[in-house]
C-alpha cells in the first residue's frame, strides 16, 4: 500500500496532531463550550460522536444528523476542522452533506469487512481524510485490511487510531494497549500516521496522562482525547472524559522527545550501549541453542524409554521456579512466564519431531523433517 507522507496528509497542522472533543455531541451549548475552551490550546481538530455504538439498547445513542451542523458550526467558530465516526453509508452521506472535514471508522466497524466495504463504496471518488480505529480484538490483519479497502477505494489520506484491545485478562485498562500491535503496524506501513486514543484505552481519566505520554514517547503522530465540560454528567463515557482545562493541563505536561539527536557525543554513547545489547543478544541466542540441544537429547531419551513428551509436573515446576528466580533478578514476572511458554512451545515441537520420526528401511532413524 502506497500512502502519501504524513506531511501531505496533515491539513497544514503542526505535529503531533492533538484532537479533542466529546464522546458524544449533546447540544450546541456543550460543543460550543468545548470548542471555545480548546481554541488556542494546541488542539488542531475537534471530534464529536453523532451516532454512538452502544453495547446495550437504551443507552444514549447520539443525537444523530441534527448534531452534525452543531459540530461543524462550533469548529468554524474557532477555525478547527471537525471529525465524526461513520459506521454506515447513511452516516457517510449525512457527514459529507454537512461538510464534516475528517471521518473515522470505529473499533466495532473495523471488525466487519462487509460494513467497511460499504463505507468505502459510499466514499469512492470523495477526497476526505479517514482515520481507522483498531478492531475491538487484537487482529492486526483486520486493521490493515480496513485501511487497504479504503486505499483501494481511492482514499489515500489515511491514518490509524490505536484505541486498545478487548482481552479477557483483567487489567487496569478498559482496553489493553498491547503496544506491539500498533508498532508492528508502523513497521509494516511506515508512512501511515498512527494516533493514540488514551481515553478509550484507559476508561478512567486518572490514567490518561500516563498512556498519552507513552504514546508520544513511542513516536505516535498524535492523540485523540475525549473532552467534556462536565464529564461526570456526560451522556456517554463519563469516567474517561477530561474537562477542557484537564486536557490543557495534560498537553502542557507532555514531554515531546526527538527520535534522533544531532549531538555527536550522545550518538556515540548510544552506539556503544547498543553494541553491548548486540553482544548480549548473541550470547542469549547461543545459550538458547545449547538449551535446545539438551531438549533434543532428552527427547531421544524419552523416545528410547517410550515416554510422553509433555510432563505436567515438570512444566508446573518450571512455571513456578523460573518467575521466582526472575523476580530475584528484577525481571517482570509476566515477561518470564511468557518467555518460558515460548521456549516450552518450541521444546515440545522439537521433541515431537524426535518421537514421531520414522525408522528408515535400513533400520536407522530418518532425520527429522523441519
Ligand atoms: C469513540 O471514539 O467515541 C468510540 C466509540 O470509540 P471506539 O470505536 O474506539 O470504541
Ligand atoms: Mn467514547
Give the position, in ligand 1's atom list, of the atom nearest the Cα of 109: 8
For residue 333, give the C-alpha cell: 514476572
Ligand 1 in contact with 234 (CB < 6 A)? no
User: Within the chain, which residues score under 70 in pLDDT?
Assistant: 1-14, 360-370
Chain segment 121-150, per-residue pLDDT in tens: 999 999 899 999 999 999 999 999 999 999
Ligand 1 in contact with 49 (CB < 6 A)? yes
Contacts of 16 (CB under 8 A, 6+ apart): 195, 216, 220, 221, 222, 223, 256
Rounded distance between C-alpha atoms, residue 101 and residue 21, angstroms:
14
Chain segment 225-240, per-residue pLDDT in tens: 999 999 999 999 999 9
Ligand 1 in contact with 62 (CB < 6 A)? no
Angle among Cα 8, 11, 17 to the nearest 5 degrees reads: 100
Closest ligand to the CA of 198: 1
Q: Rounded to two decimals, what is the model's pTM?
A: 0.83
Residue ID of nearest Cα to ligand 1 atom 2 = 23
Probe ligand 1: pick from 60, 71, 108, max atoms within 8 Å of CB?
108
Spacing, Cα 240 to ligand 2 middle (Å)? 8
* Helix, strand, coil shares, percent, the chain, to 5: 50, 10, 40
Closest ligand to the CA of 174: 1
Residue ID of nearest Cα to ligand 1 atom 1 = 23
pLDDT at residue 370, as a whole number: 46
Amino acid at each position: 500500500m502506497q500512502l502519501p507522507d504524513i506531511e501531505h496528509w496533515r491539513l497544514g497542522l503542526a505535529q503531533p496532531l492533538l484532537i479533542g472533543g466529546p464522546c458524544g455531541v449533546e447540544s450546541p451549548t456543550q460543543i460550543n463550550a468545548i470548542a471555545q475552551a480548546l481554541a488556542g490550546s494546541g488542539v488542531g481538530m475537534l471530534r464529536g460522536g453523532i451516532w454512538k455504538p452502544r453495547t446495550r439498547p437504551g443507552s444514549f445513542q447520539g443525537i444523530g444528523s441534527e448534531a452534525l451542523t452543531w459540530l461543524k458550526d462550533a469548529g468554524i467558530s474557532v477555525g478547527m476542522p471537525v471529525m465524526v465516526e461513520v459506521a454506515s453509508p447513511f452516516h457517510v452521506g449525512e457527514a459529507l452533506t454537512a461538510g464534516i472535514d475528517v471521518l473515522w471508522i470505529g473499533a466495532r466497524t473495523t471488525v466487519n469487512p462487509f460494513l467497511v466495504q460499504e463505507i468505502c463504496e459510499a466514499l469512492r471518488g470523495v477526497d476526505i481524510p479517514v482515520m481507522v480505529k483498531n478492531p475491538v480484538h487484537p487482529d492486526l490483519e483486520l486493521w490493515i485490511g480496513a485501511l487497504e479497502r479504503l486505499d483501494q477505494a481511492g482514499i489515500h489520506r489515511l491514518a490509524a487510531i490505536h484505541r486498545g484491545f478487548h482481552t479477557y485478562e483483567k487489567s487496569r485498562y478498559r482496553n489493553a494497549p498491547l503496544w506491539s500491535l500498533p508498532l508492528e503496524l508502523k513497521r509494516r506501513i511506515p508512512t501511515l500516521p498512527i494516533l493514540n486514543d488514551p481515553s478509550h484505552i484507559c476508561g478512567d481519566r486518572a490514567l490518561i496522562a500516563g498512556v498519552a505520554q507513552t504514546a508520544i514517547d513511542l513516536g505516535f503522530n498524535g492523540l485523540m482525547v475525549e473532552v467534556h465540560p462536565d464529564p461526570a454528567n456526560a451522556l456517554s463515557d463519563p469516567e474517561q472524559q477530561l474537562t477542557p482545562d484537564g486536557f490543557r493541563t495534560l498537553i502542557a505536561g507532555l514531554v515531546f522527545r526527538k527520535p534522533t539527536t544531532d549531538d555527536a557525543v550522545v550518538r556515540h554513547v548510544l552506539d556503544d550501549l547498543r553494541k553491548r545489547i548486540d553482544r548480549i543478544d548473541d550470547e542469549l541466542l547461543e545459550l538458547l541453542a545449547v538449551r535446545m540441544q539438551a531438549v533434543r537429547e532428552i527427547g531421544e531419551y524419552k523416545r528410547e524409554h517410550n515416554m510422553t513428551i509433555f510432563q505436567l509436573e515438570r512444566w508446573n515446576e518450571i512455571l513456578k521456579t523460573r518467575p521466582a528466580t526472575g523476580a530475584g533478578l528484577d525481571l517482570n514476572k509476566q515477561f518470564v512466564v511468557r518467555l518460558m511458554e515460548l521456549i516450552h512451545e518450541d521444546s515440545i515441537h522439537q521433541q515431537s519431531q524426535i518421537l514421531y520420526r520414522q525408522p528408515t528401511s535400513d533400520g536407522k532413524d530418518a532425520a527429522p523433517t523441519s
